[in-house]
Amino acid sequence: MSAALPRIAILATGGTIAGKASSASQTVGYKPGSASVQDILDSVPGLSDVAEITAVQVANIGSEDMTDHIWTKLVRETEEQLADPEIDGVVITHGTDTLEETAFLLNLILKSDKPIVIVGSMRPATSISADGPMNLLNAVRTACSEKSVGKGVLVVLNDEIHGARDVTKTNTTNCATFASPRLGALGFVTGGIVDFYKASVKPHTTQTQFTSALLNGSDLPLTDIIYAHANEDSRLIETSAATGAKGIVYAGMGNGSVHVNALKGLREAIEKGVIVIRSSRTGSGAVVDSAPEWSEVGMINGGTLNPQKARILLQLCLASGLGREEIIEAFNRY
Ligand SMILES: NC(=O)CC[C@H](N)C(=O)O
């Protein structure tokens, strides 16, 4: 009977879904990444009726501490599982703080049509009304579904299925924190039923030019995010360029507006060969051509990618050795 169940690999990396607090009412200030993958599995009654599970502890960190090194380890392990003919899909448990960055990275470099689902939680495992067990069950259900095949990396929390490109964390503590601005959820898990209603047309996984070989050995090219604000100056931009940044994502105001005091530093950085992406701190909407002086210095429009996702794409472009024109094209395509 159980031989007929889908076979799902669960790769654990830490986060609140693996968090233990000192009391059942504590929902902040606990230690993420303190429960093992086995503890997490044990907290989900009925999981073994849904899938045959293989579990791997890849890391056990708060995802605010994510590094290229851990990404490399996670990518290698995910690829190994996806290549195994005995495995039908992969579920990755992850802290929510950088979940969207890991999801977008994997969405751009993994080469598989098998379901790949990332899941986290907002309340620690020890909390009253912990959301992790149901999120994990729904993530496994999503990974088991034929409907998830070829959809790219999916993110499941709070009964919603989001696409890796557009999903973002929108609230510091609320269980309904993940949203895809403007696009919305791709699907839902309702009463255990997985269903999709839309898809992003942006290329992912097997459709992209990027591969995991870009993570080989060394860190991805140094790329900083500079957050724009009133009364800004150029110090952080100058420091970034002077200390080896190959790329800068400028999280501008509104439609990527650039403070006049920042423009000088950005121009000098671009003259030194740094690629600068103009993104937005607003959290929604596209950055498109605006004031001519911002495009004339050579800044590239970031489109609808938020700054942290624009940074991932820029790093992959730089690691691939793409030139300016190809990077513009990549930001249009992805
Ligand atoms: N809800 C969470 O997962 C946040 C916990 C932690 N900061 C992390 O991202 O891992």
| pLDDT for position 216 | 78
Q: Is the same domain home to 226 and 201? A: no
Q: Is the same domain home to 171 and 64? A: yes
The answer to whether position 294 is within a domain reads yes
pLDDT at 109 over 60: yes
The total domain count for the chain is 2
Distance 62 CA to ligand 1 centre (A): 5
Q: Is the same domain home to 195 and 69? A: yes
Q: Is the same domain home to 124 and 260? A: no
The residue segments making up the domain with residue 276 are 221-333
Residue among 96, 155, 168 to mutate when testing ligand 1 (max atoms within 8 A of CB): 96
Whether 290 has a binding-site annotation, put simply, is no
Determine how many CB atoms are found less than 10 A away from the CB of residue 206. Answer: 11
Among 185, 207, 229, where does a domain finish?
A: 207
In DSSP terms, which residues pair with 226 in a beta bridge? 250
Q: Is the same domain home to 77 and 203? A: yes
Distance 154 CA to ligand 1 centre (A): 18
Q: How confident is the model at residue 3 (pLDDT cuts 50, 70, 90)?
A: low
Distance 84 CA to ligand 1 centre (A): 30
CA-closest residue to ligand 1 atom 1: 122
Q: Is the same domain home to 174 and 273? A: no
Find the CATH number of the domain harbouring 314: 3.40.50.40
Q: Is the same domain home to 146 and 259? A: no
Whether 88 has a binding-site annotation, put simply, is no
**With a cut of 0.95, is the ipTM above it?**
yes
- Could you confirm whether 96 is annotated as catalytic? yes
* Per-residue pLDDT reduced to its tens digit, 239-288: 999 999 999 999 999 999 999 999 999 999 999 999 999 999 999 999 99
Give CA 166 to chain center in angstroms: 9
CA-closest residue to ligand 1 atom 6: 62
| pLDDT for position 4 | 87
For ligand 1, residues with CB inside 6 Å are 14-16, 32, 62-64, 95-97, 120, 122
Burial pattern 135-159, b for ≥16 Cβ within 10 A else e, equals bbbbbbbbbbbeebeebbbbbbbbb
Q: Which of 96, 102, 205, 304 is catalytic?
A: 96
